[in-house]
Amino acid sequence: MRAFVLTAPGAFEVQELPAPVAVAGEVVVDVERVGVCGTDMEFFTGAMAYLHQGHSTYPMRPGHEWAGRVAAVGEGVDRGWLGRRVMGDTMLGCGRCRRCVRGHQHVCEKRQEVGIRGARAGALAERLAVPASSLHALPDSVDAALGALVEPGGNALRAARAAAARTGDRALVLGPGTIGLLVAMFLRAAGAEVHLLDRAGNSPAFAHAMGFEHVWDERSLPDLPFDAVVDASNAAHLPQKALESVEPSGRVVYIGLAGEPSRIDTRTLALKDVTAVGILSASPGLDDTIRAYASGTVDPGALVAATVSLDEVGAVLAGERPEGAGPGPKIHVDPRLGI
């Protein structure tokens, strides 16, 4: 099969590799769609922390936002999975430790992460092997593009729920990238008045087209009471901005990661009686995200700007915009293209 492989920082190849075989407890999936994520770009540049912590090494095959169809099942796996359309959890816990037993396998110390950690190959290939226990079935109303948006959507859903904003509340989302816009969609579905802050100086036209009226930059952000603030940016100074912007007794949610350490003033946190929550992983939110997409409560399809082949992934990771791409922030890959 063909697969995209990172061989070193800034170096990559589309290689012909042996197709995976379904071992006991696992399935093999024909991959239909993969999302390119900021994490993949960090692996491309060599900045990803896991590389320096020994959790990941080159060569590696990225790709953790995916959807496809089960082509083979291993020993002990229900054959009912054959032919089903699925997506899969990125986080694969050991299943035995205290965290896994308590239902927190996404923070298992010994976890693998598909396409990210522990030498677990990712989905930027024609076929992917994953544990059957990680699968989530997709209904007919959730196509491949939406299926590959379930993983980022699960992260966003958890962030929106942690914000606990409801009808009549005002919420601010810092960073209108894929995750930020997904968070905004889930907050809007919960009835909140949603504001977006874009520090990059991008045109607000796309966010407006997505139905968000209130889009600001750091200079124009109005002095309004925000009941919840979600930092979905990669800016090291915005976690403190989030804390400063939230109302006393409000909630701040941190889901974005900066390339350098962030600092917040815990005196502000205490004196404002603020609840602060960190979010890692979509795992606990995947099923509800699928239901939200299937029902149309949240429809993120417009986020996908273009779908490219494996041969074009390197250019995307290097920051090039595909020719003819739409205004959305997400680029998808179809490994079947160009074959």
Domains observed in the chain:
2-149+300-333 (3.90.180.10), 153-278 (3.40.50.720)
> In terms of residues, how long is the chain?
339
Please tell me the distance from the alpha carbon of residue 331 to that of residue 154, in angstroms, as a whole number: 18
The Cβ of residue 41 has, within 10 Å, a number of other Cβ atoms equal to: 16
pLDDT grade for 8, boundaries at 50, 70 and 90: very high
Amino acid at 140: D
Structure tokens given for 321: 């915009």
Q: Quick one: pLDDT at residue 203?
A: 75
For position 253, what pLDDT does the model report?
A: 98
Res 202: pLDDT: 73
Closest by alpha carbon to 154, among 197, 210, 91, 208? 91
Query: How far apart (Å, rounded) are the C-alpha atoms in residues 135 and 81?
Result: 9
Average pLDDT over every residue of 193-207: 87
Instruction: Output 203 or 11, whichever has higher pLDDT.
Output: 11
Per-residue pLDDT band for 67 (boundaries 50, 70, 90) equals very high
The position carrying tokens 């948006």 is 149
Q: If pLDDT is split at 50, 70 and 90, which confidence band does 201 have?
A: low
Number of H helices, E strands in the chain: 11, 17
In tens, the pLDDT along 101-141 reads 999 999 999 999 999 999 999 999 999 999 999 999 999 99
For residue 41, is pLDDT > 90? yes
CB 136 within 8 A of CB 76: no
Instruction: Locate all alpha helices (DSSP H) within the chain, ordered by sequence.
Output: 38-45, 49-53, 98-101, 144-147, 150-163, 178-189, 205-209, 238-245, 266-271, 286-295, 313-317
Q: Residues 320, 152, 39, 221: what is their CA dihedral angle, to the nearest 10 degrees? A: 70
Inform me whether the pLDDT recorded for 291 exceeds 90. yes
- pLDDT tens by residue, 225-276: 999 999 999 999 999 999 999 999 999 999 999 888 999 999 999 999 999 9
Q: What is the token pair recorded at 195? A: 């504001």
Rounded distance between C-alpha atoms, residue 16 and residue 28, angstroms: 17
Element (H, E) at 333: strand 330-333
Q: Report pLDDT for 17.
A: 97
| β-pairing verdict for 193-197 and 214-216 | parallel
How far is it, in rounded angstroms, from Cα 30 to Cα 82? Answer: 11
pLDDT at 241: 96
The mean predicted confidence, pLDDT, of the chain is 96
- As a whole-number percent, the residues of the chain with pLDDT over 90 amount to 96
Q: Is 195 exposed, middle or buried (0-12, 13-18, 19+ CB in 10 A)?
A: buried
Backbone angles phi, psi at 77, to 5 degrees: -100, 135
Map residue 211 onto helix, strand or coil: coil
Please tell me the predicted confidence (pLDDT) of residue 259.
83
pLDDT in tens, 135-190: 999 999 999 999 999 999 999 999 999 999 999 999 999 999 999 999 999 999 99
Buried b (16+ CB within 10 A) or exposed e, 132-147: bebbbebeeebebbbb
Tokens of 106: 């996404």
**For the residues 277-305, what does the mean pLDDT come to?**
97
Read off the DSSP letter of residue 117: B
When pLDDT is cut at 50, 70 and 90, the band that residue 44 belongs to is: very high
Give the side-chain half-sphere CA count within 13 A for 238: 25
How far is residue 53's CA from residue 74's CA, in Å, rounded to a whole number?
Answer: 32
3-state class (DSSP) for residue 154:
helix
The residue behind tokens 């699928």 is 290
Give the mean model confidence (pLDDT) for residues 287-308. Answer: 98
